[in-house]
Amino acid sequence: MIILLYGFWLILNGKITPEILITGAVLTAAIALFSHLLFGWTPKKDLRNVRRLPYAAAYLAVLLVEIIRANLAVARLIFRGEKKLSPVLVTFETDLRTDTARYILANSITLTPGTITVEAEGSVFSVHCLAEELLDANIFVRLLKKMEA
């Protein structure tokens, strides 16, 4: 994080002078200290987050694909003109350990057309679906478990 902050400082300034180098070093150190004191940031946590970047990129790609698939499925339901949509409230439990992973899962479900997370209490999720086949949270849960590991 320190190297990225310092590099960002140098890029924003556009030139390198001794004053800019010293000011950037002081500000970067102050931000790193503030992050450590307030958020518990450590270089070890930062390295762990860098290792999770490929999983995060894969998760975003899967989320985008699922959003497109759900859009097409909802469009098919609408254009078929089915009068008997069967909205359903599905409750399921997941074994995600962290609140952050559960938060990401709830938001991913809500971002997917045709589904909305109604309640997320601990590891139990209640999801409203236009049709039961629209809910497939397993792919999200698998990727989130890899990110937690």
Q: Which two tokens stand for residue 84?
A: 């008997």
Over the stretch 66-79, which tens digit does the pLDDT of each residue have? 999 999 988 888 88
Over the stretch 15-30, which tens digit does the pLDDT of each residue have? 899 999 999 999 999 9
Q: How many CB atoms lie within 10 A of CB 2?
A: 14
Handedness of CA 86, 92, 94, 99 (dihedral sign): positive
User: Model pTM greater than 0.85?
Assistant: no
Over the stretch 82-118, which tens digit does the pLDDT of each residue have? 667 788 898 989 999 999 899 999 999 999 998 899 9
Domain segments of the chain as ranges? 2-48, 54-148
